[in-house]
Amino acid sequence: MRILVVGGGGREHAICWALKKSPKVTELYCAPGNGGIASVAECVPIQVNQFEEIAQFAIDQTIDLVVIGPDDPLSEGIVDHLEAKGLSVFGPRQNAAIIEGSKVFTKQLLKKYNIPTAAYESFERYEDAVAYLRRQQAPIVIKADGLAAGKGVIVAQTLGEAEKALHDIMVAKVFGESGNQVVIEEFLTGQEMSILSFVDGETVCPMIPAQDHKAVYDNDKGPNTGGMGTYSPLPHIPQAVIDESIETIIKPTAKAMVAEGRPFRGVLFAGLMLTPNGPKTIEFNARFGDPETQVVLPRLKTDLLDIFLAAVNGRLDQMKIEWSEEAAVCVILASEGYPGSYPKGLPIEGLEDVQDSIVFHAGTAVKDGGVVTNGGRVLGVTALGRDIAEARAKAYADADRIRFQGKHNRTDIAKKALV
Ligand code: AMP
Ligand code: GLY
């Protein structure tokens, strides 16, 4: 089969890497891809928002299945656009991708169907939001309604900080239209866990859980990023809690989307907080997580293409998905300055010295035959091992073998799972 993956980050590298193992895949393309994806797929210079060009390429190349990686094109309706041209696509349609694209929509959905989440209020007017905020207590969480490249959530430690966030979002419009509405939410405490599931309507096939590290520095200090590292499994979280999350949050949400006339088909990503009062929803995403995918797919034993095809053909309920018992740890190597501004085009050395890891490229390009930095998150170094300790030791040993100017990474990925 001829497959096209849309996207160009570490997630798409992991998807291409997994698809490449399928004996059914004869041609694999990625638009636009990156310096590392080029080693497993043919990269085509089309950007993820060029729907017309993507459709034309897929038609000309008689592509059998298009797989969409990132959130932005999903929210903008790429699946509807490609399906209207007769293409077969893995990913949610626009009316279902809203579960990530609008936090107000999702909070209302969860409330309507009694699905556990933080208490909240939403606002369209800045004055109303501020008046409400001044009656609350810190810490408190402010969320821009729409997509904001992972930066639209502010966990404010003081009401002053929260008020500044409201002003930035609703008045200064730092996230543009995404700030037309805000959610002000109760601060939840507990361990975080991500569960990604293959979903087709009411059929939910959960993947093995993973944990991300959002803050840029060790001990969860500093501003939030897209994710600085992940691991799976989570040995310190009881299976009963994982099962409870699936039964009380993920399955009811898939069902609610069907009831709303917005059946979800694709990967539904639940960001969960394991509070003293049970698991609660932090957010839903309409796609694979990045860098969750870089630890989840290396543990997948079933052919990924078979799962995609089953979902697209409404046969997901007949799939038996198998996972390896091994543990996986992914350490992200980031550019100097990330998650703020950062330089690009710096040469990366030592990739050939890597011994025990899979290196997923997140933001790289090929220049003059060499690999250079081309993004904030540059590489994801994933290692598998008998347990978290072994996987972690291998990933860090290989992370140290890779060099570029200004490289930084957290040194405590998966540390929580060691105690
Ligand atoms: P999100 O972009 O929705 O994943 O939020 C980013 C991060 O903010 C999450 O991973 C949590 O660490 C934190 N967060 C979001 N909502 C809450 C909440 N209600 N209480 C505590 N932390 C939260
Ligand atoms: N790692 C978090 C996300 O993909 O949104």
Nearest CA to ligand 1 atom 5: 153
Domain edge (last residue) among 186, 207, 239 = 186
Nearest ligand to the CA atom of 271: 1
Residues 173 and 221 in one domain: no
Whether 205 maps to a domain, the answer reads yes
Cα end-to-end distance, the chain, whole Å: 45
Domains of the chain: total: 4
Residues 232 and 294 in one domain: yes
Residues 42 and 84 in one domain: yes
Residues 169 and 231 in one domain: no
| Best CA proximity match to 388, nearest among 412, 369, 371, 366 | 412
Residues 222 and 305 in one domain: yes
Mean per-residue pLDDT of the chain: 97
Ligand 2 atom closest to Cα of residue 290: 4
Whether 107 maps to a domain, the answer reads no
Q: How many CB atoms lie within 10 A of CB 216?
A: 21
> In this predicted structure, what is the pLDDT of residue 208?
98
Q: Which pLDDT tens digit goes with each residue over 18-37?
A: 999 999 999 999 999 999 99
Token pair in block for residue 116 = 């556990």
Could you give the angle at the alpha carbon of 140 between the alpha carbons of 134 and 144, nearest 5°?
A: 95
We report the CATH number of the domain holding residue 7 as 3.40.50.20
Tokens 């696509």 belong to which residue?
Answer: 89
The residues near 135 (Cβ < 8 Å, ≥ 6 apart) are: none
For residue 192, the SS3 value is: strand
Amino acid at 60: D
| Best CA proximity match to 397, nearest among 409, 406, 387 | 409
> In this predicted structure, what is the pLDDT of residue 151?
81
Ligand 2 center to 369 CA (angstroms): 31
Q: Is the CB–ligand 1 distance for residue 187 below 6 Å? A: yes
Ligand 1 center to 112 CA (angstroms): 21
Nearest CA to ligand 2 atom 4: 289
Residues 388 and 295 in one domain: no
At 363, the pLDDT band (50, 70, 90 cuts) reads very high
Whether 191 maps to a domain, the answer reads no
> In this predicted structure, what is the pLDDT of residue 134?
95
> In this predicted structure, what is the pLDDT of residue 224?
86
Is 7 a residue whose pLDDT tops 90? Answer: yes
Could you give the angle at the alpha carbon of 292 between the alpha carbons of 331 and 4, nearest 5°?
A: 110
Whether 290 maps to a domain, the answer reads yes
Nearest ligand to the CA atom of 141: 1
Residues 82 and 124 in one domain: no
We report the CATH number of the domain holding residue 390 as 3.90.600.10
Mean pLDDT over 239-256 rounds to 98
Whether 123 maps to a domain, the answer reads yes
Q: Is the CB–ligand 1 distance for residue 283 below 6 Å? A: yes
Residues 203 and 312 in one domain: yes
Q: How far apart are CA 72 and CA 226, in angstroms?
A: 14
Ligand 1 center to 167 CA (angstroms): 19
Nearest CA to ligand 2 atom 3: 289
Residues 300 and 398 in one domain: no
Is 149 a residue whose pLDDT tops 90? Answer: no
Nearest ligand to the CA atom of 152: 1
Domain edge (last residue) among 264, 297, 318 = 318
Ligand 1 center to 283 CA (angstroms): 8
Nearest CA to ligand 1 atom 4: 283
Ligand 2 center to 131 CA (angstroms): 32
We report the CATH number of the domain holding residue 159 as 3.30.1490.20
Ligand 2 atom closest to Cα of residue 230: 1
Ligand 2 atom closest to Cα of residue 283: 5
Mean pLDDT over 355-364 rounds to 97
At 393, the pLDDT band (50, 70, 90 cuts) reads very high
Mean pLDDT over 178-207 rounds to 96
Secondary structure, 3-state, 127-183: HHHHHHHCCCCCCEEEEECCCCCCCCEEEECCHHHHHHHHHHHHHCCCCHHHHCCEE
Token pair in block for residue 190 = 């507990």
Q: Is the CB–ligand 1 distance for residue 128 below 6 Å? A: no
Whether 372 maps to a domain, the answer reads yes
Q: Is the CB–ligand 1 distance for residue 275 below 6 Å? A: no
Ligand 2 center to 368 CA (angstroms): 32
Q: Which pLDDT tens digit goes with each residue over 300-345?
A: 999 999 999 999 999 999 999 999 999 999 999 999 999 999 999 9
Whether 113 maps to a domain, the answer reads no
Best of 100, 193, 232, 285 to mutate for ligand 2, by most ligand atoms within 8 A of CB?
285
Q: Is the CB–ligand 1 distance for residue 302 below 6 Å? A: no
Report the relative pairing of strands 27-32 and 2-7 from DSSP bridges.
Answer: parallel
Ligand 2 center to 127 CA (angstroms): 31
Q: How far apart are CA 258 and CA 249, in angstroms?
A: 15
Amino acid at 134: R
Best of 105, 122, 141, 277 to mutate for ligand 1, by most ligand atoms within 8 A of CB?
141
Q: Is the CB–ligand 1 distance for residue 153 below 6 Å? A: yes
| Best CA proximity match to 73, nearest among 44, 53, 59 | 53
Q: What percent of the chain has pLDDT over 70?
A: 100
Best of 15, 99, 194, 282 to mutate for ligand 2, by most ligand atoms within 8 A of CB?
194
Residues 161 and 254 in one domain: no
Residues spanned by the domain of 249: 198-318
DSSP-derived secondary structure letter, 188? P
Residues 307 and 216 in one domain: yes
Residues 336 and 267 in one domain: no
Q: How far apart are CA 394 and CA 354, in angstroms?
A: 10
Whether 56 maps to a domain, the answer reads yes
Q: How far apart are CA 163 and CA 126, in angstroms?
A: 10
> In this predicted structure, what is the pLDDT of residue 150?
76
Mean pLDDT over 226-231 rounds to 96
At 219, the pLDDT band (50, 70, 90 cuts) reads very high
Tokens 């160009």 belong to which residue?
Answer: 8
Token pair in block for residue 46 = 């089309």
Burial of 235 (0-12, 13-18, 19+ CB in 10 A): middle
Please report which residue ranges of 9-116 form alpha helices under DSSP H. 10-20, 51-60, 71-75, 78-84, 94-101, 103-112
